Structure 1
Amino acid sequence: SWPNYEDIYKKIIEVATFLDLPRFPDITEDCYLHPNILCMKYLMEVNLPDEMHDLTCHVVKVTGMGEVDFLTFDPIAKKGKTVKYDVQAVAVIVVVLKLLFLLDDNLEWSLSNIAEKYNEKNEEDKPWFDFRKWYQVMKTAVDEKKQKWEEARAKYLWKSEKPLYHSAIDRSVVYKRREMVVSLQKQFSTLVGSTPTVEKQSPSSFQFSWTEEGSDRTCFHGHSLQGVLKQKGQSLMTKNSLYWLSTQKFCKSYCKHVTTYEESNFSLSYQFILNLFSFLLRIKTSLLHEEVSLIEKRLFKAKYSTTKKKSSRSRKARKC
């Protein structure tokens, strides 16, 4: 089974603090753990347009999450904490998707209709990104991946690759027997005509591949975001001017968690996006939702400060 992400996160801090380790090497823009690089990786992983990378970089810059001091782990610091690098990167992508498509089970489908009509009329031009089509492709891919993963777990033989022996004297005998068994299995497979065991593939950090030849799945990496962006002066802006916050109110400092996540309170599109990335990282959906909320808190400081002022005023009014 996969180890719990939060448990590993806590153990990292505890061990580093206990060993009194010095400040870790700086996480710069050239480092693999920098959010800009990780965002690029996960945009490729989930088959989203390359043009989204400029937007994720902008969010990272505005929120200050790309700063060296923010990213670098320092156990000696009073508030020793480490950044959840991968979770943070995919959370940035979720925020950008909300900025572009709102993810309210309404606007994203309206924009998809526009993109679909444009692509039908302009087949030779660079296609516009169609959220609905992407959703269908990704849902099929994830369902297949989940099924294969579950089947592989069910078929997996929990045995040691190296033979076990009780003493050094038995070592040669045990290895000899193991070689004989493997040899007999190969001969039997040849006689029966069964397919030989496929060799283990080299490890890869990608779970999906969208560039394989002969694949009938659409690759959206080269698709354009013109359908959801508009030119304003020398800069591009999102056509969508609305945004809803994942968390309206954060828990107090003494609470163990930052925010709670209940699926029924959120749109189906938002749930799908969270479930998609949670599956990739093998984390709880609530953990990703929490990270999205924290990024939004940094991105929309004005909104949260306004809400805080209103709540404080209402308290004063009650006291009076």
Structure 2
Amino acid sequence: MSTDGPQSDAGAPETGNDWSERLFGGFRKTSERLAGNLAGIVGATRLTDAQLDHLEDALIMSDLGPRAAARIRARLADERFERAGAQGADERAIMEVVAREIAEILRPVAKPLDVVAFPRPQVILVIGVNGSGKTTTIAKLAHLFQEQDYSVMLAAGDTFRAAAIGQLKVWADRLSIPIVTGPEGGDPASVVFDAVKAATDTGIDALIVDTAGRLQNKRELMDELAKIRRVLGRLNPEAPHDVVLVLDATNGQNALSQIEIFKEVAGVSGLIMTKLDGTARGGVLVAAAEQYGLPIHAIGVGEKIDDLRPFNPDLLARVIAGIA
């Protein structure tokens, strides 16, 4: 199902326990894949080189990436395990160590996107390839700010797709927040200029700007973003305050190559990872953290408007490892 259009979000706001349950449900395929790949590594107080090799390969196959896998392997090589009569107890002990090391990787990057700019507004450019769930993520991020009592405005800077402009208008209407748009095929920098002026004049806290998701011509995209930056600089030398890349977790390792490209063309300052529910490739979140160290501001595990949240790295590590 596409996540680029509004979805039903009826019902009361979720509690912390609801979100934890959503995490466990969303990462079930990831944790089951990891557990399946690690099955059979039991029975000794220290793991053998052959077992460690198998475990490292299993972590890589679970999309945690070679760097994180090597780090976890090294930690497990130093561990002395209690011998247990039941096979399950040994596997649990190993997964506890895996979870602790994943948490160590995730803690430094678990940084919510805070509205701190002064003077206002805080300008947040949101980038990502078409199909990553970018438009919906913008709406979810706006809703997250609204829950924190910040005023929000949207800018439809992806002028090359009429559908993107239309979807953003629908979300703005649903959330009762203002939006600045321009004609299809118009100049994105002009839209951003108008939006920053409007947000400044009306005292908006956060301005979230959609941008084009075309990677077919990196130079064209780079030039477009450079122009937006120049226009922003005339109005507020500090803007954009954030350049947030939206990644689709179902792309697995391809998501990492997108980080590399967008870091080059857009100066990415932080990440949001979407579609972590229903994919076995949630381990790529760990790979991104270990390889790039960029702040991961929020994760998405569902299609409802409140399904985007900052994450607790210790809880998420245990979710990925499949141990409650």
TM-score (norm 2): 0.25
Structure showing greater radius of gyration is 1
More strand by share: 2
TM-score when normalising by structure 1: 0.25
Q: Higher relative CO (CA 8 A, sep ≥ 6), structure 1 or 2? A: 2
